[in-house]
Amino acid sequence: MNHKIAPLYDALCIYERKQTVSLHVPGHKDGQAFDQQASRHFREILKIDATEVNGLDDLHHPTEAIAEAQRLAADAFGAEQTYFLVGGSTAGNLAAALTVCQPGDRILVQRNAHKSVFNGLLLAGAHPIFIAPEVEPETDVATGIEPSHLRKALQQYPDVKAVWITNPNYYGMGINVTKLVDVCHQAGIPLLVDEAHGAHLGQVANVPCSALEAGADLVVQSTHKMLTAMTMASMLHVQGPLIPRERLAAILAMVQSSSPSYPLMASLDVARRYLIMQGREQLANTVVMLEKQREQLAERLQCLSIWTDKGTTYSRDPLKWVLTSRHSPVTGYQLLAWLEDMGCVAEMADTKNVVLVFAIHNSEDQVKRTVQAIQALDAKLQQLPVVEKQKNDGSILLTEPGQLIEPAISLQEAFHQKKKQVPLAEAIGKYSAEMVIPYPPGIPLLAPGEKITETHITAIQQIKAAGGYFQGASDEGMEKMFILVNP
Amino acid sequence: MNHKIAPLYDALCIYERKQTVSLHVPGHKDGQAFDQQASRHFREILKIDATEVNGLDDLHHPTEAIAEAQRLAADAFGAEQTYFLVGGSTAGNLAAALTVCQPGDRILVQRNAHKSVFNGLLLAGAHPIFIAPEVEPETDVATGIEPSHLRKALQQYPDVKAVWITNPNYYGMGINVTKLVDVCHQAGIPLLVDEAHGAHLGQVANVPCSALEAGADLVVQSTHKMLTAMTMASMLHVQGPLIPRERLAAILAMVQSSSPSYPLMASLDVARRYLIMQGREQLANTVVMLEKQREQLAERLQCLSIWTDKGTTYSRDPLKWVLTSRHSPVTGYQLLAWLEDMGCVAEMADTKNVVLVFAIHNSEDQVKRTVQAIQALDAKLQQLPVVEKQKNDGSILLTEPGQLIEPAISLQEAFHQKKKQVPLAEAIGKYSAEMVIPYPPGIPLLAPGEKITETHITAIQQIKAAGGYFQGASDEGMEKMFILVNP
């Protein structure tokens, strides 16, 4: 296929050159009616911020430029069919849930999933059976699920409609997806993969393989995260006979805007072209350069460590560096703040680690500045009193890898029921009305509809005492939580 | 309030100036890794295509720049609270349905609603009771519902959770929303308004009043359509005690991307500033200019007419011109195509009419080119043989204004059930599995879950014979349709 062209972007350039009188939306009329003070940033993009006029196709019924751009993307990513997403991977995950589940259907879901996976299941009225992931021992971060655990889970719940995993995790740690595909296909059900953090996987030999290469049936990728599309522009890929395509297309048209953004769609088109024409070569070189820098740096660091998998995970994304303080009781949040003071803004942190995200192409200057900042941070830590870190007590996670958790009622039922916020002690014996997610490792301790035990509350208090952070909790201090009034 | 500032756009400019090393997403790294051939359009916008780093707030939990930008927007549009939408008015309508309806809840819905209203009801598992709108006699276009019809409907269905209308319609025709608000509030339920086509209403004295001025409880506006935001950027406004705000915010975070586009959000912020600082004055002047041009043009036209309400509707949007061929059997589609040949691209057409959309600020040159094109079109029509148009037989609409239609099963049940496509004749006595929407007037003849009668099929065939177009039909020629296999 001819990857030199960008059919959708090219169609927009033709639209721009036509210079017709716009008697249609949008109201900024190709930028002619717009805030002058913001003109510098918006002027050029507004010229292609068009709508579905002749020649610009229709995202929800593509037959021309969008269809062609999607075909080129499918070729680049190894899919049979690719759908452009203007609502981010969120839209892809909502659509995935609604496509494979009817109300009341059971589905096996890796428990450390993104909230859009939970929201998709909620909207679909599905009954998820959660399966607890492994934990990487050096970083205490949740990774993926083991094929043997999946096989057991499918024996226990043979009626599930699909299996839904997240891979790689936010830290770039990956599992062997091929083996999970085998388990699913033996059971005749599809494997869905939230590959939001892995749009670059499989593109060159020195990064891990992609979910599509591994044979997954439906894959959602945030093209804006690790590749170069505009933020909120993602892709959904499918292959094989297990995903009903017509139903998927109908649902995507349901959960996405009927006025989709052409700049976002065109950015997916040119992100694909850039990847094939230059990006792959740049990515391969970037990985070589980063690995060399990482190894050299690792040797020089005294108080910080850069995570390297020593057989604890199946794969590692070389575009991510996970830094941990070795000795002093310094949290990942603190590391992130200090790096920001040095002009280096990291992606995210947890109580223990901070995560740096490189791109397929980084200026050498920026990588040097990063290495210098990390060394300066290490020197700073050397000034702090040495306090040997306590080993995390894994038991506070409550779940053993592979453990299955089935909420008493569906996420949807829990959402719609009356709820009230009560002090933790009063919650024992009641049913949770919110997600309680200690971070790390990001495995929900409680999902809506799950019965709250004394052990849960003790765990929450232990995690709080350890300085843990609860993602998206209704009470940030986690003194109170929402319970169902009449479960 | 100080409308000279644009807090979110300003925060992005500060972000840009910081020149920190980005070790976070997006992967284009402020545009440093991007397709060079597309650089002209994307370069400047990518500098502010940021993510939730310090100083840029969080759409789903706003406390800083986004919260301030939303407060200014609420002030500008007369709302108590405003939510920025990055998923278009589609996201607003999905959220509205899910906020007011639990599964199984009844809701009264104006039948000529946008598909996102139907999709919201489907996702919510709601049971809509449809109420048929009035029809504007000159254009044969569906408008809104009558207060007396609404009052009767509420007597018949006193348990509905809300009333949902669309106003103005796509053609700029409006109803008296104040009276509908009164009826709803007397019944203690909220009025939801899809005001996608009316973001500019109420902003100056010479355009119709807005739904918020009329007292509506929840209003969705496509800021990109009639005002100047980027396509897919909309707003949801609320006022009063009838909409649960916490639930609404939770649902918006569910249906919208967790990586929302900052350029789209910032375009809402500067669209508000532009409106207040210059746009209102421009809009008032534009309306005066357009009205003068319209009146002069109307006198000169021989074969075309420009729609002017002569008491057939409550209000008319002066930024829309609806053109109809008077004598010869020329469709709106044909008028649209001829206008495009003359370099003027219209918004949309139906069998009878073509709709032109002006903006709050149009260059005089573009308005002149439009007037010239319309005159040239009129001259062209004068060359065609005169054939007196047949008056439309209103009976083919099947529904009298105010008629109530209750599908046998919910939209959600109909969506999930097994369906098959059959020839029209075989569909009689079965239940529809799709929307059948003759355009105009855009009132669904059949909704999913409705029983198909011989009268329906006869009507479909009459409309086809008259050259009617069926919006979004599974079979464009409308020879076949989807029915439920086991209703």
Rounded CA-CA distance B13/B6 in Å is 11
User: Closest by alpha carbon to B447, among B455, B456, B439?
Assistant: B456
* Token pair recorded at residue A166: 């997240």
Residue of B nearest to A341 (CA): B20
Which of B21, B265, B293, B476 to probe the A interface (max A CBs under 10 A)? B21
Cα–Cα separations (whole angstroms), residue B172 to A136, B204, B228, B466: 60, 16, 18, 25
Number of inter-chain CB pairs under 8 A, A vs B: 326
pLDDT score, position A392: 52
Across the interface, of B28, B38, B91, the residue whose CB is closest to A9 is B38
B121: CB partners within 8 A, 6+ apart = B97, B101, B107, B109, B128, B410, B411
Interchain contact A227–B (C-beta under 8 A): yes
Model confidence at A474: pLDDT above 90: no
Q: Among residues of chain A, what percentage have pLDDT more than 90?
A: 83
ipTM, 2 dp: 0.96
Contact B370 A273 (CB under 8 A): no
Contact A231 B47 (CB under 8 A): no
Contact between B189 and B163 (Cβ < 8 Å): yes
Tell me the sheet residues that pair with A120: none
pLDDT score, position A397: 58
Across the interface, of B23, B226, B261, the residue whose CB is closest to A345 is B23
User: Closest by alpha carbon to B263, among A127, A42, A3, A466?
Assistant: A42
Which of B52, B232, B421 to probe the A interface (max A CBs under 10 A)? B232
Rounded CA-CA distance A339/A154 in Å is 45
Cα–Cα separations (whole angstroms), residue A59 to A56, A82, A255, B92: 9, 12, 13, 19
Give A78-132 pLDDT, tens digit per residue: 999 999 999 999 999 999 999 999 999 999 999 999 999 999 999 999 999 999 9
Interchain contact B385–A (C-beta under 8 A): no
Contact A266 B228 (CB under 8 A): no
SS3 of residue B470 by DSSP: strand
Rounded CA-CA distance A436/A427 in Å is 13
Give B123-134 pLDDT, tens digit per residue: 999 999 999 999
Rounded CA-CA distance B353/B332 in Å is 4
Cα torsion angle, B355, B351, B307, B385, sign: positive
SS3 of residue B128 by DSSP: strand
A96-99 contacts, C-beta under 8 A, 24 or more apart:
A96/A120, A96/A164, A96/A192, A96/A218, A96/A220, A96/A236, A97/A121, A97/A123, A97/A124, A97/A126, A97/A164, A98/A123, A98/A124, A98/A251, A98/A254, A98/A255, A99/A218, A99/A243, A99/A244, A99/A247, A99/A248, A99/A251
B359: CB partners within 8 A, 6+ apart = A27, A28, A29, A32, A33, B226, B228, B286, B319
Residue of B nearest to A118 (CA): B254
Model confidence at B456: pLDDT above 50: yes
pLDDT score, position B309: 85
Give A367-380 pLDDT, tens digit per residue: 999 999 999 999 99
A486: region left, alpha or beta (phi > 0 left; psi from -120 to 50 alpha): beta
Which of A232, A256, A281, A358 to probe the B interface (max B CBs under 10 A)? A232
pLDDT score, position B322: 98
Rounded CA-CA distance B363/B321 in Å is 17
Taking CB atoms and an 8 Å cutoff, what residues of chain A touch B361?
Answer: 29, 32-33
Mean pLDDT on B244-263: 96
Q: What is the pTM of this model?
A: 0.96
pLDDT score, position A476: 83
Residue of A nearest to B258 (CA): A90
Residue of B nearest to A122 (CA): B254
Neighbour tally for A454: CB within 10 Å: 11
SS3 of residue B425 by DSSP: helix
pLDDT score, position B392: 52
Across the interface, of A26, A225, A363, the residue whose CB is closest to B225 is A26
Residues in chain A: 487
Contact B119 A254 (CB under 8 A): yes
User: Closest by alpha carbon to A126, among A409, A456, A479?
Assistant: A409
Cα torsion angle, B132, B133, B138, B141, sign: negative
* Token pair recorded at residue B415: 């969506």
Mind telling me how many Å the CA of A180 is from chain B's nearest CA? 27
Interchain contact A99–B (C-beta under 8 A): no
pLDDT score, position B92: 98
Mean pLDDT on A326-348: 92
Which of A94, A231, A273 to probe the B interface (max B CBs under 10 A)? A231
Mean pLDDT on A19-29: 95
Mean pLDDT on B199-226: 98
Rounded CA-CA distance B279/A144 in Å is 53
Interchain contact A2–B (C-beta under 8 A): no
Mean pLDDT on B197-205: 98
DSSP per-residue codes, B335-389: HHHHHHHTTEEESEE-SSEEEEE--SS--HHHHHHHHHHHHHHHHHHHTSPP-PP
Interchain contact B410–A (C-beta under 8 A): no
Rounded CA-CA distance A378/A382 in Å is 6
Interchain contact B161–A (C-beta under 8 A): no
Q: Which of A285-289, B319-323, B404-408 has the lowest mean pLDDT?
A: B404-408
Contact between B198 and B226 (Cβ < 8 Å): yes
Kindly report whether the peptide bond that precedes residue B263 is cis, defined as omega within 30 degrees of 0.
no
Contact A25 B88 (CB under 8 A): no
Contact A360 B27 (CB under 8 A): yes
Across the interface, of A266, A370, A416, the residue whose CB is closest to B21 is A370
Mind telling me how many Å the CA of A32 is from chain B's nearest CA? 8
User: Closest by alpha carbon to A357, among B261, B22, B262?
Assistant: B22
User: Closest by alpha carbon to A232, among B26, B138, B130?
Assistant: B26
Taking CB atoms and an 8 Å cutoff, what residues of chain A touch B364?
Answer: none
Across the interface, of B261, B359, B366, the residue whose CB is closest to A231 is B261
Give B368-395 pLDDT, tens digit per residue: 999 999 999 999 999 988 776 655 544 4
Model confidence at A487: pLDDT above 80: no
Across the interface, of A23, A260, A366, the residue whose CB is closest to B232 is A260
Residue of B nearest to A349 (CA): B24
Model confidence at B396: pLDDT above 60: no
Counting Cα atoms < 13 Å in the Cβ hemisphere of B428 gives 10
Contact A21 B369 (CB under 8 A): yes
Model confidence at B307: pLDDT above 70: yes
Rounded CA-CA distance B366/B223 in Å is 22
Contact A26 B228 (CB under 8 A): yes
Model confidence at B315: pLDDT above 80: yes
A78: region left, alpha or beta (phi > 0 left; psi from -120 to 50 alpha): left
Give B15-62 pLDDT, tens digit per residue: 999 989 999 999 999 999 999 999 999 999 999 999 999 999 999 999
Model confidence at B155: pLDDT above 50: yes
Kindly report whether the peptide bond that precedes residue B147 is cis, defined as omega within 30 degrees of 0.
no
Residue of B nearest to A340 (CA): B20
Q: Among residues of chain A, what percentage have pLDDT more than 70?
A: 97
Model confidence at B345: pLDDT above 80: yes
Which of B9, B10, B257, B366 to probe the A interface (max A CBs under 10 A)? B257
Contact A46 B230 (CB under 8 A): yes
Q: Which of A2-11, A316-325, A405-414 has the lowest mean pLDDT?
A: A405-414
Taking CB atoms and an 8 Å cutoff, what residues of chain A touch B90?
Answer: 256-259
Mean pLDDT for chain B overall: 94
Which band of pLDDT confidence, cut at 50, 70 and 90, is reported for residue A389?
Answer: low
pLDDT score, position B472: 76
Model confidence at A396: pLDDT above 60: no
Which of A 262-321 lie inside 8 A of B, CB atoms?
Answer: 262-264, 266-267, 270-271, 273-274, 277, 279, 282
Which of B 416-475 lie inside 8 A of A, CB atoms?
Answer: 416
Rounded CA-CA distance A336/A356 in Å is 9
Give A204-221 pLDDT, tens digit per residue: 999 999 999 999 999 999
Rounded CA-CA distance A99/A388 in Å is 50
pLDDT score, position A442: 75
Contact B230 A42 (CB under 8 A): yes
A299: CB partners within 8 A, 6+ apart = none
Residue of A nearest to B266 (CA): A38
Q: What's the burial of B275, exposed, middle or buried (CB within 10 Å: 0-12/13-18/19+)? A: buried
pLDDT score, position A391: 56
pLDDT score, position A394: 46
pLDDT score, position A351: 85
